[in-house]
Amino acid sequence: MTEEIIIAGFGGQGVLSMGKILAYSGIMQNREVSWMPSYGPEMRGGTANVTVIVSDERISSPILRSYDTAIILNQQSMDKFEQTVKTYGTLLYDPNGITKHPTRADINIYRVEGAKKAAEMGNTKIFNMIVLGAYLKMKPIVKIENVIKGLRKSLPERYHKLIPLNEDAIRMGMNSVEIVQEVK
Protein backbone atom coordinates (compact mmCIF):
# COMPACT_ATOMS: atom_id res chain seq x y z
CA MET A 1 0.00 0.00 0.00
CA THR A 2 1.33 3.39 -1.00
CA GLU A 3 -0.82 6.51 -0.86
CA GLU A 4 0.56 9.72 -2.34
CA ILE A 5 -1.41 12.76 -1.28
CA ILE A 6 -1.25 16.47 -1.95
CA ILE A 7 -3.11 18.76 0.44
CA ALA A 8 -3.42 22.32 -0.87
CA GLY A 9 -5.15 25.49 0.23
CA PHE A 10 -4.56 28.85 1.82
CA GLY A 11 -1.96 29.41 4.50
CA GLY A 12 -3.85 29.39 7.79
CA GLN A 13 -6.31 26.65 6.82
CA GLY A 14 -4.25 24.11 8.69
CA VAL A 15 -2.96 22.42 5.55
CA LEU A 16 0.51 21.67 6.94
CA SER A 17 -0.76 20.51 10.33
CA MET A 18 -3.38 18.27 8.73
CA GLY A 19 -0.57 16.66 6.76
CA LYS A 20 1.49 16.32 9.88
CA ILE A 21 -1.30 14.61 11.83
CA LEU A 22 -1.92 12.24 8.92
CA ALA A 23 1.81 11.43 8.77
CA TYR A 24 1.98 10.87 12.53
CA SER A 25 -1.06 8.59 12.30
CA GLY A 26 0.84 6.61 9.68
CA ILE A 27 3.76 6.14 12.07
CA MET A 28 1.34 4.95 14.76
CA GLN A 29 0.18 2.34 12.26
CA ASN A 30 3.75 1.18 11.55
CA ARG A 31 3.85 2.77 8.11
CA GLU A 32 6.63 4.68 6.42
CA VAL A 33 5.71 8.34 5.99
CA SER A 34 7.01 11.53 4.45
CA TRP A 35 5.77 15.12 4.69
CA MET A 36 7.13 17.62 2.25
CA PRO A 37 5.92 21.22 2.44
CA SER A 38 5.47 23.33 -0.67
CA TYR A 39 8.64 24.44 -2.28
CA GLY A 40 9.70 26.59 -5.20
CA PRO A 41 7.50 29.31 -6.68
CA GLU A 42 4.45 27.45 -5.40
CA MET A 43 4.92 29.12 -2.06
CA ARG A 44 3.95 32.50 -3.49
CA GLY A 45 0.50 34.00 -3.24
CA GLY A 46 -0.43 32.86 0.21
CA THR A 47 -1.09 29.29 -0.83
CA ALA A 48 0.32 26.37 1.08
CA ASN A 49 0.58 22.77 0.12
CA VAL A 50 2.12 19.63 1.48
CA THR A 51 2.85 16.26 -0.05
CA VAL A 52 2.22 13.38 2.33
CA ILE A 53 3.13 9.81 1.48
CA VAL A 54 2.03 6.86 3.60
CA SER A 55 3.40 3.50 2.55
CA ASP A 56 4.22 -0.06 3.58
CA GLU A 57 7.57 0.29 1.85
CA ARG A 58 10.53 2.60 2.03
CA ILE A 59 9.45 5.83 0.41
CA SER A 60 11.39 6.94 -2.64
CA SER A 61 10.69 10.44 -3.87
CA PRO A 62 9.05 12.78 -1.35
CA ILE A 63 8.54 15.19 -4.25
CA LEU A 64 5.95 14.21 -6.83
CA ARG A 65 4.20 15.46 -9.91
CA SER A 66 1.13 13.21 -9.77
CA TYR A 67 -0.88 12.00 -6.79
CA ASP A 68 -3.26 9.27 -5.72
CA THR A 69 -5.29 11.85 -3.83
CA ALA A 70 -5.59 15.62 -3.94
CA ILE A 71 -7.28 17.40 -1.06
CA ILE A 72 -8.15 20.85 -2.39
CA LEU A 73 -9.25 23.72 -0.24
CA ASN A 74 -9.23 26.79 -2.49
CA GLN A 75 -9.67 27.75 -6.13
CA GLN A 76 -5.98 28.36 -6.87
CA SER A 77 -5.19 24.86 -5.69
CA MET A 78 -8.03 23.44 -7.77
CA ASP A 79 -6.61 25.17 -10.83
CA LYS A 80 -3.18 23.81 -10.12
CA PHE A 81 -3.78 20.29 -8.83
CA GLU A 82 -6.94 18.90 -10.44
CA GLN A 83 -4.89 17.73 -13.41
CA THR A 84 -2.21 16.12 -11.21
CA VAL A 85 -4.56 13.44 -9.85
CA LYS A 86 -3.75 10.03 -11.34
CA THR A 87 -6.43 8.35 -13.42
CA TYR A 88 -8.81 6.53 -11.04
CA GLY A 89 -7.36 8.68 -8.29
CA THR A 90 -9.28 10.75 -5.78
CA LEU A 91 -10.08 14.43 -5.48
CA LEU A 92 -11.64 15.69 -2.26
CA TYR A 93 -12.59 19.34 -1.98
CA ASP A 94 -14.43 21.87 0.09
CA PRO A 95 -16.81 23.79 -2.18
CA ASN A 96 -16.52 26.90 -0.01
CA GLY A 97 -14.98 29.58 -2.26
CA ILE A 98 -14.75 27.27 -5.25
CA THR A 99 -16.04 28.93 -8.41
CA LYS A 100 -14.91 26.33 -10.94
CA HIS A 101 -15.78 22.83 -9.77
CA PRO A 102 -13.71 19.86 -10.92
CA THR A 103 -14.56 18.54 -14.33
CA ARG A 104 -12.47 15.43 -14.78
CA ALA A 105 -14.44 12.32 -15.60
CA ASP A 106 -11.68 9.76 -14.88
CA ILE A 107 -11.30 10.34 -11.14
CA ASN A 108 -13.32 9.90 -7.98
CA ILE A 109 -14.62 13.22 -6.70
CA TYR A 110 -15.87 13.86 -3.18
CA ARG A 111 -16.82 17.04 -1.39
CA VAL A 112 -17.07 18.05 2.21
CA GLU A 113 -18.51 21.27 3.60
CA GLY A 114 -15.63 21.63 6.02
CA ALA A 115 -15.75 25.39 6.51
CA LYS A 116 -19.53 25.36 6.97
CA LYS A 117 -19.49 22.46 9.43
CA ALA A 118 -16.64 23.98 11.41
CA ALA A 119 -18.65 27.19 11.73
CA GLU A 120 -21.65 25.16 12.86
CA MET A 121 -19.51 23.44 15.47
CA GLY A 122 -18.41 26.87 16.64
CA ASN A 123 -14.67 26.47 16.01
CA THR A 124 -13.11 27.30 12.66
CA LYS A 125 -9.81 25.80 13.76
CA ILE A 126 -11.16 22.26 13.50
CA PHE A 127 -11.84 22.79 9.80
CA ASN A 128 -8.84 20.72 8.79
CA MET A 129 -9.88 17.82 11.04
CA ILE A 130 -13.32 17.73 9.40
CA VAL A 131 -11.61 17.49 6.02
CA LEU A 132 -9.27 14.81 7.36
CA GLY A 133 -12.31 12.84 8.58
CA ALA A 134 -13.90 13.09 5.16
CA TYR A 135 -10.71 11.85 3.55
CA LEU A 136 -10.36 8.90 5.93
CA LYS A 137 -13.95 7.90 5.31
CA MET A 138 -13.22 7.55 1.60
CA LYS A 139 -9.64 6.28 2.01
CA PRO A 140 -9.29 4.49 5.35
CA ILE A 141 -5.49 4.24 5.15
CA VAL A 142 -5.13 4.73 8.90
CA LYS A 143 -7.40 3.84 11.78
CA ILE A 144 -9.08 6.57 13.80
CA GLU A 145 -7.41 5.36 17.01
CA ASN A 146 -4.06 5.91 15.35
CA VAL A 147 -5.11 9.40 14.29
CA ILE A 148 -5.89 10.15 17.93
CA LYS A 149 -2.48 8.75 18.90
CA GLY A 150 -0.94 10.91 16.19
CA LEU A 151 -2.73 13.96 17.55
CA ARG A 152 -1.44 13.17 21.00
CA LYS A 153 2.11 12.99 19.62
CA SER A 154 1.99 16.05 17.43
CA LEU A 155 0.06 18.43 19.69
CA PRO A 156 1.86 20.08 22.60
CA GLU A 157 0.56 18.79 25.94
CA ARG A 158 -1.31 22.02 26.70
CA TYR A 159 -3.59 21.35 23.71
CA HIS A 160 -4.41 17.75 24.66
CA LYS A 161 -7.69 18.86 26.19
CA LEU A 162 -8.75 19.72 22.63
CA ILE A 163 -8.31 16.15 21.39
CA PRO A 164 -11.96 15.11 22.02
CA LEU A 165 -13.11 18.13 19.99
CA ASN A 166 -10.78 17.09 17.16
CA GLU A 167 -12.16 13.58 17.33
CA ASP A 168 -15.69 14.96 17.02
CA ALA A 169 -14.55 16.98 14.03
CA ILE A 170 -13.08 13.91 12.34
CA ARG A 171 -16.36 12.05 12.85
CA MET A 172 -18.28 15.04 11.57
CA GLY A 173 -16.18 14.91 8.41
CA MET A 174 -16.73 11.18 8.03
CA ASN A 175 -20.48 11.62 8.33
CA SER A 176 -20.82 14.61 6.05
CA VAL A 177 -18.64 13.72 3.07
CA GLU A 178 -20.62 13.59 -0.18
CA ILE A 179 -19.93 11.58 -3.31
CA VAL A 180 -19.85 13.71 -6.43
CA GLN A 181 -18.73 10.95 -8.75
CA GLU A 182 -17.12 7.56 -8.47
CA VAL A 183 -15.34 5.89 -11.33
CA LYS A 184 -13.85 2.90 -9.62
Partner 1 sequence: MGELRLMKGNEALAEAVIRAGVDGYFGYPITPQSEVIEYLTAEKPEERTGMVVLQAESEIASINMLYGGGGTGKKVMTSSSSPGISLMQEGLSYIASAEIPIVLVNVVRGGPGLGDIQPAQSDYFQSTKGGGHGDYRLIVLGPSSVQEMSDFVPLAFDLAFKYRNPVMILSDGAIGQMMEKVELFEPIPRLTDKEIIERYPWATNGKPKGGERRILTSLDLDPAKMERHNWHLQKKYKEIEENEVRFEAINTEDADYVIVAYGSSARISQKAIQLLREKGIKTGLLRLITLWPFPYKQIEALVGQGIKGFLSVEMSAGQMVEDVRLAVNGKVKVEHFGRYGGMVHSPEEVMEALEQKIIGG
Asked if 55 touches partner 1 (CB under 8 A), the answer is: no
Q: Which residues pair with 2 in a beta bridge?
A: 55
Nearer to partner 1, 64 or 138 (CB): 64
Q: Please give the DSSP secondary-structure letter assigned to residue 45.
A: G
Nearer to partner 1, 37 or 95 (CB): 37
Q: Which of 45, 62, 97, 164 binds partner 1 (CB under 8 A)?
A: 62
CA–CA separation, 76 and 45 (whole Å): 9
Determine which helix (DSSP H) or strand (DSSP E) holds 69, and give its type and residue range: strand 67-72
Nearer to partner 1, 40 or 122 (CB): 40
Q: Which of 1, 44, 65, 156 binds partner 1 (CB under 8 A)?
A: 65
End-to-end CA distance of the chain: 17
Closest separation in Å from C-beta 36 to partner 1: 4
CA–CA separation, 10 and 122 (whole Å): 20
Site string for partner 1, 20-49 (x = CB under 8 A): x--xx-xx----xxxxxx-xx---------
User: Which residue type sits at 175?
Assistant: N
Asked if 64 touches partner 1 (CB under 8 A), the answer is: yes
Cβ neighbors of 133 (< 8 A, separation 6 or more) are 169, 170, 171, 172, 173, 174, 175, 177
Asked if 161 touches partner 1 (CB under 8 A), the answer is: no
CA–CA separation, 22 and 46 (whole Å): 22
Closest separation in Å from C-beta 24 to partner 1: 5
**Three-class SS state of 53:** strand
Nearer to partner 1, 24 or 135 (CB): 24
Asked if 12 touches partner 1 (CB under 8 A), the answer is: no
The residues binding partner 1 (CB under 8 A) are 20, 23-24, 26-27, 32-37, 39-40, 59-66, 153-154
